[in-house]
């Protein structure tokens, strides 16, 4: 089955064409500056379409070049917010598209773009089945004591203010690969997954299901990230508002000017690690703040799981930064966790164990692949429920 995986942002569209059975990528690309009104392109990236429909024409041309006579079988969309309704991937129809659209207030930067992508494809390829795969879906199993904020109930009932969690497609995929590596069935996997990319979240998994996760109402809660603060005292925002900051200023400060960028002057983990290694005290403190926050979450989630049996690192930092993994590992001695310095430093694209034989629980590095997970989920939904018109 050939699946086109689409990740639409407000001004960008990432795509990949995958052969699901072979697990291979036939072609991929990124279209940027959608609706920004500048035609130029550069660096092999196609740029400057007027809207998502025009961007799709460019995708069509690019994939036609590679596929020739072969036809796509389905389209899988990464949809950021599935609210309380969507607990698994679904076949898209008009009613589903409207339901995703109704969630726009919960993800104002993301869901509108997902809807534009879905509608543009429905117009261009009405015969192609489309599947929506939600970032929040895997966390629909959170128990109420984990998803509820201690806030007046009207905030939940009137505005949907609760914890949703994100990165679910990655957490689920990585949990299943970790379970396979450890030789336990998916539904018996008890562990903590740390997805550490530009955005970062930790998930507690019990019996293969998400029971807690560090991102909440939005992807801002939780860990120290590239440019996001993660947890802060909410009164800081009230203090700033009283001091005359606008909501836009506060939003931008928390989401774009905080995290590693605020602490170290750089949001890229590689640069922060290099700076720390060459004696930059601010960079070293940034790593200390970020690794301490993560270690506290791992300790807490050991409790949420009821005794985690594995700790797993994934995504850009989790897969590649042995320095950051080592800093986190050093703080986890109380859980009986011990990294093997040699295994931790090894470079590999394969799932692997990086803890010592004496560590109470194994520590793993498992590469994530959200596009692959979306393509596989799409194929499964189509095989189960698609009836050609």
- Binding stretches for ligand ADP (CB under 6 A): 197-199, 226, 268-270, 315-317, 320-321
Instruction: Name which of 114 and 321 has its Cβ closer to ligand ADP.
Output: 321
* Exposure on the CB side of residue 261, measured as CA atoms within 13 A: 16
Question: In whole angstroms, how close is the CB of 229 to ligand ADP at the nearest point?
Answer: 16
Asked if 250 and 243 count as a contact pair (C-beta separation under 8 A), the reply is no
Question: In whole angstroms, how close is the CB of 197 to ligand ADP at the nearest point?
Answer: 3
Instruction: Name which of 174 and 269 has its Cβ closer to ligand ADP.
Output: 269
Other CB atoms within a 10 A radius of the CB of residue 43 amount to: 5
Q: Sign of the C-alpha dihedral, residues 195, 198, 199, 200?
A: positive
Question: In whole angstroms, how close is the CB of 324 to ligand ADP at the nearest point?
Answer: 7
Instruction: Name which of 240 and 326 has its Cβ closer to ligand ADP.
Output: 326
What would the DSSP string read from start to end of 152-182? -HHHHHHH--S-----HHHHHHHHHHHHHHH
Instruction: Name which of 101 and 268 has its Cβ closer to ligand ADP.
Output: 268
- Per DSSP, 21 falls in state T
Instruction: Name which of 63 and 317 has its Cβ closer to ligand ADP.
Output: 317
Among residues 388, 376, 381, which one has the least CA distance to residue 169? 376
Question: In whole angstroms, how close is the CB of 19 to ligand ADP at the nearest point?
Answer: 23
What would the DSSP string read from start to end of 62-101? HHHHHHTT----EEEEEES--TTT-SS-EE--HHHHHHHH
Residues noted as catalytic: 135
Beta-carbon contacts of residue 233 (< 8 Å; ≥ 6 apart): none
């Amino acid at each position: 089955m050939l699946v086109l995986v689409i990740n639409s942002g407000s001004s960008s569209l990432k795509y990949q064409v995958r052969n699901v059975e072979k697990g291979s990528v036939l072609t991929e690309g990124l279209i940027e500056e959608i609706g920004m009104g500048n035609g130029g392109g550069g660096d092999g990236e196609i740029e400057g379409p007027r809207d998502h429909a025009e961007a799709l024409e460019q995708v069509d041309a690019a994939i036609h070049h590679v596929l020739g006579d072969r036809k796509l079988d389905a389209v899988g969309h990464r949809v950021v917010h599935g609210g309380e309704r969507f607990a698994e991937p679904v076949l898209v129809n008009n009613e589903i598209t409207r339901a995703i659209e109704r969630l726009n207030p919960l993800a104002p930067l993301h869901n509108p773009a997902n809807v534009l992508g879905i509608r543009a494809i429905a117009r261009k390829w009405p015969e192609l089945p489309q599947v929506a795969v939600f970032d929040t879906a895997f966390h629909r199993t959170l128990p109420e004591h984990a998803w509820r904020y201690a806030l007046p109930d009207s905030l939940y009932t009137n505005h949907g203010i609760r914890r949703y969690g994100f990165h679910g497609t990655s957490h689920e995929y990585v949990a299943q690969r970790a379970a396979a590596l450890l030789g336990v069935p998916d539904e018996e996997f008890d562990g903590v997954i740390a997805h550490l990319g530009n955005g970062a979240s930790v998930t507690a998994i019990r019996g293969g299901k998400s029971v807690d996760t560090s991102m909440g109402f939005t992807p801002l809660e939780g860990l120290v990230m590239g440019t996001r603060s993660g947890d802060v005292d909410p009164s800081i925002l009230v203090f700033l508002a009283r001091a005359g900051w606008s909501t836009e200023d506060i939003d931008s400060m928390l989401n774009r000017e905080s995290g590693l960028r605020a602490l170290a002057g750089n949001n890229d983990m590689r640069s922060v690690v290099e700076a720390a290694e060459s004696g930059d005290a601010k960079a070293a403190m940034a790593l200390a703040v970020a690794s301490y926050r993560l270690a506290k979450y791992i300790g807490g989630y050991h409790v949420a799981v009821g005794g985690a049996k594995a700790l797993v690192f994934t995504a850009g930092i989790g897969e590649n930064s042995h320095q950051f993994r080592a800093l986190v590992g050093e703080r986890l001695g109380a859980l009986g966790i011990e990294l093997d310095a040699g295994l931790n430093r090894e470079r590999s694209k394969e799932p692997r164990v990086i803890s010592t034989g004496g560590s109470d629980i194994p520590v793993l590095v498992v590469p994530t692949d959200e596009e692959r997970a979306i393509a596989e989920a799409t194929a499964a939904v189509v095989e189960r429920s698609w009836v050609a018109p």
